[in-house]
Amino acid sequence: MSSQQVSSGAPPGPRFRLPLHWLGVLPFAAFTVLFLIMPTMKIVIGAFQTPDGTFTLDNIRGLYTPSIMSAYLISIRISLASAILGCAIGFAVAAAVVLGGLPQWIRGPLLTFSGVASNFAGVPLAFAFLATLGPVGLVTVFLKTQLGVDLRMLGFNLLSFWGLTLTYLFFQIPLMILIITPALDGLKKEWREAASILGATNAQYWRLVAFPILLPSFLGTMALLFANAFGAVATAIALTGSSLNIVPILLFAQIRGDVLGDPHLGYALAFGMIVVTGVANALYIWLRARSERWLK
Amino acid sequence: MKRLWAWGALIFGLLYFFLPLIGMTNFSLKMRRGEYSFDAYVKVLNDPRFQETFTYSVTMALVTILFGIFLIVPTAYWVRLKLPGLRPYIEFVTLLPLVIPAIVIVFGYIRLYNTSSWLPLTGSSLGTDVLLMFGYATLALPYMYRAVDTGLRTIDVGTLTEAAQSLGASWFTIISRIILPNVLVAVLSGAFLTFAIVIGEFTMAALLNKPAFGPYMQLLGANRAYEPAALAVIAFGITWGCLGLIQLVSRFQKTAPRQA
């Protein structure tokens, strides 16, 4: 069914050769329909069905319970915080390397390292942060014994909102660096020269020329980082176990053991995740298209 | 002044990268009280569960890479050659795994391919392995397809095909002996990234109840103190190795035409 939807998008070729042509993409179409599109549709449709298969909005309505709503809220807040901070810090680092007059040789290693760090997520990342900022972690112990600063007394706990946000930043910052560096490279010298010939100060150049040009890439990347953090399951589970009530952990527990006591509520929970990451990604694609107007 | 600020930003960034790496390395060496030792590594490497799960995940990664190559190279080639109008749609489909969280995809698998369905893959151990492999291939799809498609862009697919056909080559010969060697560097980049993704993957393997390396790490993390840090160091080494190999082969690709 869906394979016809995919194939109907293209203009048909000469009629007598048509069947053989389509056979070439048949394995790919079969694979994506069976293992990507159908499983997703199963969730989406299931979110709007009662157990005996009739249409209903009750599952979506069922999401409006305090515990599920708070899970979404915490998830969105963590994703937002790590996206905003990741964008700001990543931008500062990338700007320092591209525009700040640092030695040129730093650039290559920094981008390579960002490639590695942005892929270093999941369970091992949680271990790394536990060994650093956990109760007996390197930084915690150093601050306590050398500087007399007790993080726990200050109310810091790695298994919390800020702990998870700090951990996510480890892959968010490098991802921002990877995406924004080409955009910063795209700022043409001529624009700056033109601005200063017309009498603009450095601040005016940034506010009126560079910032508006970079804004779509900046916001687009933020949307991407948001989706990236929202869908992260492994890091959260390895770090907090099940002590933090966020959507991926709740869904994980639901799939494992139906903790919500209603399989179709699980579908609705997953559907909500698709909607959030879908909107974030659509924003990213739209903003990236806009940024390409100037930065090519 | 500006340079000072730039150094400040860079140093902050580097601290953020390196402190957790130093932290985990330091912690992994502290198993023996009062001195540094490799005890945690010895313990992990000698754990039969580590050997089992690691072997399982490496095998799964290799099978996934092979399947990905067999699926994607012919498809990307065929689309470039015969169905260029289809490219935007295919590209859109290949980007979907970045939009739909892995946990949702595997949730769909569990509901769609359970024991009472038309294709009861989760009913047998081998079936679940196959399903997990398909899941990994789905996760790797965006990276693999993009790598291969970029590789195909650099060669003249049409001319190569016609030349091969006029010499009497079959489709199989064209793809395996002409197209594949020409995009080998791109395929390898995709393969290394796939390896890095599959080896530490947690969500799919855990929810399909498979003894993979990711769930093993998580289980150890919940029960032990020093061994998880050693595992993190090992996992970071693997990620670093895979990404380093990608850099290496793509540098090889950039210099190769100049030498020719």
Question: Over the stretch B169-184, which tens digit does the pLDDT of each residue have?
Answer: 888 899 888 999 889 8
Task: Report helix angle A263-291 to A211-230, nearest 10.
Answer: 160
In chain B, residues with a C-beta closer than 8 Å to the C-beta of A34 are: 134
* Three-class SS state of B170: coil
- Angle, helix B227-259 to helix B39-46, in steps of 10 degrees: 80
pLDDT for B93-122, tens place per residue? 998 998 899 999 999 999 899 888 888 888
Non-local CB neighbours of B223 within 8 Å, separated by 6+ positions: none
A286 in contact with B at a CB cutoff of 8 Å? Answer: no
Delimit the CATH 1.10.3720.10 region(s) of chain A.
Answer: 65-291
Residue-wise pLDDT for B151-209, tens only, equals 898 889 889 999 999 998 888 899 888 999 889 888 998 999 999 989 989 999 999 99
Among A135-149, A250-264, B134-148, which range has the highest average pLDDT? B134-148
Q: What is the pLDDT of residues A55-77, one digit of tens each?
A: 888 888 888 888 889 999 999 99
Q: Which of A249, A247, A253 is nearest to A236 (CA)?
A: A249
pTM: 0.87
Interface of B with A in 192-251 (CB under 8 A): 193, 196-197, 200-203, 206-207, 214, 217-218, 221-222, 228-229, 231-232, 235-236, 239-240, 243-244, 247
What's the rounded Cα separation, in Å, for the pair B65 and B70? 9
Interface of B with A in 119-178 (CB under 8 A): 134-135, 137-138, 141
Among B3, B104, B236, select the one facing A40 at the smallest CB separation: B104
ipTM of the complex: 0.88
C-beta neighbour count of A207 within 10 angstroms = 12
User: For the purposes of burial, counting CB atoms within 10 Å of the CB of A12, is it exposed (0-12), middle (13-18) or buried (19 or more)?
Assistant: exposed
Q: Which domains does chain B have, with CATH numbers?
A: 53-254 (1.10.3720.10)
Asked if the Cβ–Cβ distance from B75 to A89 is below 8 Å, we say: no
> What mean pLDDT do residues A263-290 have?
89
3-state SS, A127-138, equals HHHHHHHCCCCH
The CATH class that applies to domain A65-291 reads mainly alpha
Residue B88 has pLDDT above 80, yes or no: yes
Q: Which two tokens stand for residue B119?
A: 């294709």
